A and B are shown apart, each in its own frame.
Chain A
């Protein structure tokens, strides 16, 4: 069993008059062995939700449960939450070898002697050459870096993985590689994944369930086919209509006549 549940989670920034409610009483379940996709525009609170889950920002109220237990971050234990970040160019420490970055995430009970082997195995798992381990990340491509970031997250043997816009900094041809990899890993390890993206197409491709977020709230959630075929909320409809489709033509906007 591995599931993630947000119960009435609220996250705010700032104080007094300038308070911004980034996440507004969100309840969301990522069931066992399921990929839940979260879409929404920039500033809608997707990343804040993710960062709250892994303890990078504090929730104002509400609960985050992993397998029904309050989520404890860190402590280098198995079965927690892990996250892969958006920007491949800032998510790896430039002064730390690839192997060391991954090894740092191994559960603390993995013995020293076993670590090297474990790192090699993880690199294999994400389709990289284990010989990369002693190298520094500089000079690696974005795709390679994202694979390493994924390996690091997997090293902690998480129950639930959060992937926050992991392909939006990548080129199209590389994006496919990373999406395929994520899918393969999720199926292979029977993991639960919260997949966050502003790109409806990638979310629909990868997810079993899609949740749509707008201004801090989840406005619609349902099985992917249902959301695509029969969107209920006007915002979901707008998102679906806005997503560029191959073969359609964009209608010109009628310009106001300049005076």
Chain B
């Protein structure tokens, strides 16, 4: 699973937060916080994150704007095909504002964007905003349901596996769990989707093969999206939980002679969760990306098929808008995760300098 690798290489916005096992390094903060009155670092943290979000959004918008200008050749000619009349081409060029200097185009683009005007699709001649408004909710619904399914299954499963296989106990369980999880997480969602269609729609026609029509139609797409992440996520949760269980403060908790459930739930879990939270941000972003493929296979009325067809048709206004939507979603998800991390782990607000 790609999001796992990104996580492990320290991706994510608040990289230092991952892996509680690295917490020894955090002692660097203690210069002498002894007697100084503590000003809450929260406000600054929130502010920095907001500034970062805004800057990133601007970068994204600029990227989306540039797409059309980075395309080799004449984008309009490309979009309309070789046999479009020169008049049509030049009228579309004018409509897109291609006659203006680049910086004016940029300003116009920004202006349009903030007034909610996303332009008109070159292929369907429909307003892009409307298309997105119709399709986005379906995509979000799919991604969010898959996300919830992953979290609800993977986190308890990972914790359970950690407790069961603590230092070398139940080697067999550990081995089969890791093997299954490695194999399942190596199967990309579009292959899972094909396999699921074959098994549960073609061979055994239990679920609809395509379309969005009632609860049953959600089963296969959600399963295709969620299976891999469940495998990967539960593995990571297990490793993180094991790492947390090996930390010194767990020994302190044992020295207090707390009962086992209390050590696991009150001390280990919250600490393993910070890692899980970091991961869940990447996971949700990954799921959003995964919908593109899964929607295409299941003919889901979401944004994915439109993104693909707009790229194939060189329908740049639509491409630009969809890039903005997906990109914005990713940025937003990360922003929220960051804030949650700040809430869950009091050190993260201070750690970054």
Contacts and interface: CB of A to CB of B under 8 A. Distances in A.
Interface string B61-84: 000000000000000000000000
Contacts of A18: 353
B31 interface: yes
Interface string B14-32: 0000000000000000011
Interface in B325-353: 353
Nearest to A215: B32
Nearest to B32: A43
A11 to B, nearest CB: 15
A20 interface: yes
Interface in B28-55: 31-32
Interface string A36-47: 000000010000
A86 to B, nearest CB: 15
A102 B65 CA distance: 56
Contacts of B32: 43
Nearest to A43: B31
Nearest to B30: A43
A14 to B, nearest CB: 8
B34 to A, nearest CB: 11
- Chain A interface size band reads under 10
Majority-rule SS of B interface residues = loop
Contacts of A43: 31-32
A183 B74 CA distance: 77
Contacts of A14: 353
Contacts of A20: 31
Interface string A225-245: 000000000000000000000
Interface in A6-64: 14, 18, 20, 43
A18 B32 CA distance: 14
Contacts of B353: 14, 18
Contacts of B31: 20, 43
A51 to B, nearest CB: 16
A43 B353 CA distance: 18
A190 to B, nearest CB: 39
A58 to B, nearest CB: 18
A18 B44 CA distance: 13
A18 B31 CA distance: 12
A18 B353 CA distance: 10
A88 to B, nearest CB: 18
Nearest to A18: B353
Interface string B128-160: 000000000000000000000000000000000
B88 to A, nearest CB: 57
A253 to B, nearest CB: 18
A216 to B, nearest CB: 12
Interface string A131-164: 0000000000000000000000000000000000
A153 B353 CA distance: 33
A43 B31 CA distance: 7
A20 B32 CA distance: 12
B45 to A, nearest CB: 14
Interface string B213-246: 0000000000000000000000000000000000
Nearest to A13: B353
A43 B30 CA distance: 10
A163 to B, nearest CB: 23
B352 to A, nearest CB: 12
A118 to B, nearest CB: 38
A14 B31 CA distance: 14
A157 B169 CA distance: 56
B256 to A, nearest CB: 18
A191 B274 CA distance: 52
A14 B353 CA distance: 9
A22 to B, nearest CB: 10
Nearest to A20: B31
A98 B9 CA distance: 31
B31 to A, nearest CB: 6
Interface of A: 14, 18, 20, 43
5 contacts: A14-B353, A18-B353, A20-B31, A43-B31, A43-B32
Nearest 5 CB-CB pairings of A with B? A43-B31, A43-B32, A20-B31, A14-B353, A18-B353
